[in-house]
A = this chain, B = another copy of it.
Amino acid sequence: MRRTRLAVALVVLFGFVGAVNAESDPLPSWNDGPTKRTILNFVRETTEPGSPKFVLPEERVATFDQDGTLWVEQPMYVQLQYCLGRVPALVRAKPELANVEPYKTILSGDKEAIAKLPKPELEKVLVATLSGMTVDQFTAEVKKWLATATDTRWHRHHTELTYEPMQELLKYLRTKGFKTYIVTGGGQDFVRAYSEDVYGIPPEQVVGTVGGVKYERAANGRPELMKEPKMLLDDNNAGKPEAIHLMIGRRPRAAFGNSTGDRQMLEYTRTGDGPRLSMIVLHDDAAREYAYGPAQGLPDSKVGTFTQDLYDEARHQRWTVISMKNDWRRIFSFEQ
Can you list 26 A-B pairs, Cβ within 8 angstroms, ordered by A? A179-B204, A192-B249, A202-B249, A203-B248, A203-B249, A203-B250, A204-B247, A204-B248, A204-B249, A206-B249, A212-B242, A213-B242, A213-B245, A215-B238, A215-B241, A215-B242, A215-B264, A215-B268, A222-B271, A223-B268, A223-B271, A225-B241, A225-B242, A225-B245, A232-B232, A232-B246
Assembly CA distance A248 to B248 (angstroms): 11
Assembly CA distance A264 to B233 (angstroms): 23
Total copies of this chain within the assembly: 2
A223 pairs with B241, CB closer than 8 A:
yes
Chain A interface: which size bin? 20 to 34
Which chain B residues lie closer than 8 Å to A112 at the CB level? none
Assembly CA distance A210 to B264 (angstroms): 21
Give A227's nearest chain B residue, CB to CB. B245
Q: Give the most central of A189, A204, A213, A222: most B CB within 10 Å.
A: A204
Is residue A267 within 8 Å, beta carbon to beta carbon, of the partner chain? yes
A202 pairs with B58, CB closer than 8 A:
yes
Contacts of A261-297 to chain B: CB distance below 8 A: 264, 267-268, 271
